[in-house]
Amino acid sequence: MTLPIQNYALLTDEECDVRIMEAKATLGKRCVILGHHYQRDEVFKHADFSGDSLMLSRNAAQADAEYIVFCGVHFMAEVADILSRPEQIAILPDMAAGCSMADMANLLKVQRCWDELAAVINVESQVTPVTYINSAADLKAFCGRHSGTVCTSSNAQKILEWSFAQREKVLFFPDQHLGRNTGYRMGIPLEQMVTWDFDKPQGGLTAEQIQQAKIILWKGFCSVHQVFQPIHIDNFLLRYPDAKVISHPEASFEVCQKSEYIGSTEYILKTVRNAEPNTRWLVATELNLVNRLHEECKAEGKNVHFMSPTLCMCSTMFRTDPQHLLWVLENLVQGEVVNPIQVPENVARFAKQALDNMLSIV
């Protein structure tokens, strides 16, 4: 019989800790817990693997585990389901853990965009669709059906280079900033990267703008990375002129232009960890990651600062708490699976094709 989530709502984090460890010990190798970098510490500490979403899914697929408990958000658990073996089951502790950026692009809007572009240019021969991994499975499947692919913040440049080798233009969604920052670093002028406003007819663009564009950027963004502003960098450097600035490419173009280093969460971690002792860093990415990095590096005299004076964490990621994790694990101990994530076969097949295209490139 399924244990109801209501039984766990009033448990303290400390009570959950003890019982989570007991459940993990009982399940043993049958279960693997994945913890995304942005996850809260109370949950992150229980992860068997930590990292970014793609790395975690690939680790889980190679594990012996029957159950993959993904402490992240919905699209991450979908990727884990797509890339895992048929006998493995992906589980999301809290179904409310979504991604506001991913929600800014859905299949209906992307298909409408594709159809409206087709009225101006030959999309099948001129446009490679590329979706950021932070997107729903059906959008990855859309890219698979149209000979497109998926990218991450680590491999976006390689993916764009491949995409331009296939066709002359790229439709990039859902994050405009990753697309713009990557394209600009490849030497593509800003005027050849136009923004498709999905709330306007023909994306708010003229036929001439579409015809001249190299990259058509979806008007999506990560709310966490939009809190960072150029003034934050300017003010910090007035106090600490020798500080180094490092930003995730989901931050705005203006912030990235003022940053000495730009890269994925893994890049940020590696760069700061490998830096000289007694250096100071201003970091534009999610708060939980920055705080953990600060604690890890302070013994070397490194000071790691969160860029925004306003504290902001990924609120949807934060929904996965110790209570939900314990609920999932104790149900597994009882032989019950709650919150399984299963992508329909017809979607998973084409989504995997897009993911395989990416993995063959990188």
Q: Which of 97, 99, 31, 41 is nearest to 69 (CA)?
A: 31
The model's pTM is: 0.94
What fold characterizes domain 230-306? Rossmann fold (3.40.50)
pLDDT value, residue 312: 62
Within this chain, domains 5-98+316-342 and 102-223 share the same CATH topology: yes
Lowest mean pLDDT, pick from 29-38, 211-220, 233-242:
29-38
CATH architecture of 5-98+316-342: 3-Layer(aba) Sandwich (3.40)
Taking the alpha carbons at both ends of the chain, their separation in whole angstroms is: 45
- Cα–Cα–Cα angle for 170, 361, 60, rounded to 5 degrees: 110
C-alpha 162/C-alpha 160 separation (Å) is 5
Per-residue model confidence (pLDDT) at position 254: 98
User: Phi/psi at 215 (nearest 5 deg)?
Assistant: -125, 130
Q: What is the pLDDT of residues 55-86, one digit of tens each?
A: 888 888 888 899 999 999 999 999 999 999 99
Instruction: Work out the burial of residue 124: count CB atoms within 10 Å of its CB; fewer than 13 is exposed, 13-18 middle, 19 or more buried.
Output: exposed
261 CB-contact burial (10 Å; exposed 0-12 / middle 13-18 / buried 19+): middle
All structural domains of the chain with their residue ranges: 5-98+316-342, 102-223, 230-306
Fold of domain 102-223: Rossmann fold (3.40.50)
CA torsion 307→268→316→54, rounded to 10°? 170
Q: What is the pLDDT of residues 201-234, one digit of tens each?
A: 999 999 999 999 999 999 999 988 999 999 999 9
Range from 8-12, 14-18, 165-169, 220-224 carrying the lowest mean pLDDT: 220-224
Q: What percent of the chain has pLDDT over 70?
A: 98
pLDDT of residue 342: 97
